[in-house]
C-alpha cells in the first residue's frame, strides 16, 4: 500500500539515497538517513528496507550501464538495511527486521516479537500487516499475536479491519480459505485482546454471508473469542452447503467446548427435526 508521500514522489526510493543506504559504509548510510529524516520520509524508507530483506526480494541493477537486471539483494545490502533501520526506528527497527527475517532462527524471531510487544512501538503494525497480507510473515501466528498486543494499546479499529481482511471475512478481499482455517481462531483471540467489538459484530453478521470463505472465517474468528453466546449462531453452519464451512463450524464449536452446551445442541436439533 502506497502512502501519499510515496505517491507524490515518482522516483521513490531516490536512487542515490537508496544506494547509500545499502552500500555497507556506515558513514554514507548515516548521511543518507539524515537527509531522509529531514525530508520526513523515514517511515517510508524503513518499510521499503524491510521489504528488501525478505526472501526473494530483488533489486534493479545496471550491467555495464546498458542492461537492467533484477537480482537478489546481497548479504552486505541486507546488513546495511539493518543498520539503516536502527537509525530510522532505533531498536524497534532491528527487531521488526529480525521478526520477519527468513534467515533468523525461530528463537531469534520469537525474541524479536516479545521485544516489540514490550516496546509498544506502533510503527511495527504496518510491516507486520504487510507481511501477513503479502504471504511472507514466516510464523503468521506470532505476527497476529504481536498485532493483537499492539492493537490493545490504540488504533484497534483500523487494525481489526485489516485482520478481518487477512482471513477473508470481507467480500471484496479474495483470500485463500486455508488462511482462515489455519489462523482464524488466532485472529479472533487477537481481536478479543483488542476488545474490538465492531469486529465481533462484523463476524457474527458474516456467518450468513454469501461466500463460503466468509462464513468459514466468521465461525473461526468468533471461536477465538471463547464467548458461548455465539454457539446458536454457528450451529446452523454444520448443515451448510459447503463442506469446508461445515468443517470450520465443527472446529469452531470444538474450540468453544460446545459439548458443555448440551441444552443448546438439543434445542438446535429439535428445531431442525420439526
* pLDDT value at residue 119: 92
- Return the domain boundaries, the chain: 155-274
Exposure string for 132-158, b = 16+ CB within 10 A, e = fewer: bbeebbbebebbbbbbbbbbbeeebee
Question: Left if phi > 0, otherwise alpha if psi is -120 to 50, otherwise beta: which for 175?
Answer: beta
> Which pLDDT value is given to residue 88?
96
Q: Is the pLDDT of residue 185 over 90?
A: yes
Q: What is the pLDDT of residues 214-227, one digit of tens each?
A: 999 999 999 999 99
Tell me the per-residue pLDDT of 27-46, one tens digit each, with 9 for 90 and over: 999 999 999 999 999 999 99
Higher pLDDT pick, 178 / 58 = 178
pTM comes to 0.83
pLDDT tens by residue, 115-171: 999 999 999 999 999 999 998 898 999 999 999 999 887 666 789 999 999 999 998
Q: How far apart are CA 158 and CA 211, in angstroms?
A: 23
Backbone CA torsion sign across 96, 18, 33, 47: negative
**CA dihedral for 138, 96, 104, 185, sign (positive or negative):** negative
66 confidence band (pLDDT: 50, 70, 90): low
Q: Confidence band (pLDDT; 50, 70, 90) for 64?
A: low
The proportion of the chain whose per-residue pLDDT surpasses 90, expressed as a percent, equals 72
Is the pLDDT assigned to residue 253 strictly greater than 80? Answer: yes
Do 134 and 167 meet the contact criterion of CB atoms below 8 Å apart?
Answer: no
Closest CA relative to residue 253, chosen from 198, 207, 202: 207
Confidence of residue 258 (pLDDT cuts 50, 70, 90): confident
Calpha distance 257→174 (Å, rounded): 30
Structure confidence by residue, pLDDT tens digits, 156-182: 678 999 999 999 999 888 899 999 999
Q: Which CATH architecture has domain 155-274?
A: Alpha Horseshoe (1.25)
| Residue 67: per-residue pLDDT | 65
147 closest CA partner among 177, 171, 181, 123:
123
Among 232, 230, 234, 231, smallest CA distance to 216 is for 234
Determine the pLDDT at residue 56: 81
Is there a contact between 227 and 197 (Cβ–Cβ < 8 Å)? no
CA dist., res. 209 & res. 98, Å (int): 38
DSSP calls for 65-87: TTEEEEEEPPHHHHHHHHHHHHH
> Does 107 score more than 70 pLDDT?
yes
pLDDT of residue 153: 75
Cα–Cα distance between 169 and 211 in angstroms, integer? 9
For residue 78, pLDDT beyond 80: yes
Q: What is the pLDDT of residue 4?
A: 45
Question: For residue 121, what are the CA distances in angstroms to 9, 116, 136, 146, 248?
Answer: 27, 7, 21, 11, 34
Q: With 70 as the cut, is the pLDDT of residue 264 above it?
A: no
Residue identified by cell 469446508 is: 244
Element at 133 (helix H, strand E): helix 125-134
8 A C-beta contact, residue 87 and residue 33? yes
pLDDT at 269: 43
Is 219 within 8 Å of 234 (Cβ atoms)?
A: yes
Amino acid at each position: 500500500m502506497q502512502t501519499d508521500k510515496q505517491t507524490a514522489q515518482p522516483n521513490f526510493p531516490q536512487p542515490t539515497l537508496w544506494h547509500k543506504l545499502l552500500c555497507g559504509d556506515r558513514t554514507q548510510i548515516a548521511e543518507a538517513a539524515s537527509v531522509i529524516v529531514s525530508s520526513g520520509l523515514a517511515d517510508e524508507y524503513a518499510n521499503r528496507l524491510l521489504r528488501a530483506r525478505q526472501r526473494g526480494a530483488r533489486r534493479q541493477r545496471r550491467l555495464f550501464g546498458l542492461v537492467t537486471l533484477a537480482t537478489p539483494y546481497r548479504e552486505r545490502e541486507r546488513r546495511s538495511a539493518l543498520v539503516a533501520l536502527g537509525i530510522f526506528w532505533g531498536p524497534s527497527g532491528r527487531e521488526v527486521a529480525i521478526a520477519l527475517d527468513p534467515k533468523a532462527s525461530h528463537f531469534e524471531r520469537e525474541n524479536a516479537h516479545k521485544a516489540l510487544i514490550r516496546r509498544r512501538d506502533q510503527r511495527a503494525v504496518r510491516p507486520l500487516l504487510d507481511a501477513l497480507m503479502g504471504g511472507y510473515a514466516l510464523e503468521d501466528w506470532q505476527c497476529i499475536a504481536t498485532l493483537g498486543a499492539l492493537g490493545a494499546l490504540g488504533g484497534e479499529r483500523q487494525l481489526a479491519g485489516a485482520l478481518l481482511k487477512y482471513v477473508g471475512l470481507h467480500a471484496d478481499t479474495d483470500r485463500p480459505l486455508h488462511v482462515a482455517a489455519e489462523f482464524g481462531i488466532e485472529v479472533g483471540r487477537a481481536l478479543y485482546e483488542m476488545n474490538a467489538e465492531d469486529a465481533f459484530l462484523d463476524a457474527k453478521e458474516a456467518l450468513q454471508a454469501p461466500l463460503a470463505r466468509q462464513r468459514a472465517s466468521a465461525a473461526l474468528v468468533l471461536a477465538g473469542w471463547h464467548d458461548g453466546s455465539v454457539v446458536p449462531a454457528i450451529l446452523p453452519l454444520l448443515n451448510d452447503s459447503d463442506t469446508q464451512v461445515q468443517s470450520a463450524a465443527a472446529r469452531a464449536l470444538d474450540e468453544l467446548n460446545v459439548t458443555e452446551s448440551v441444552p443448546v445442541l438439543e434445542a438446535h436439533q429439535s428445531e431442525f427435526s420439526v
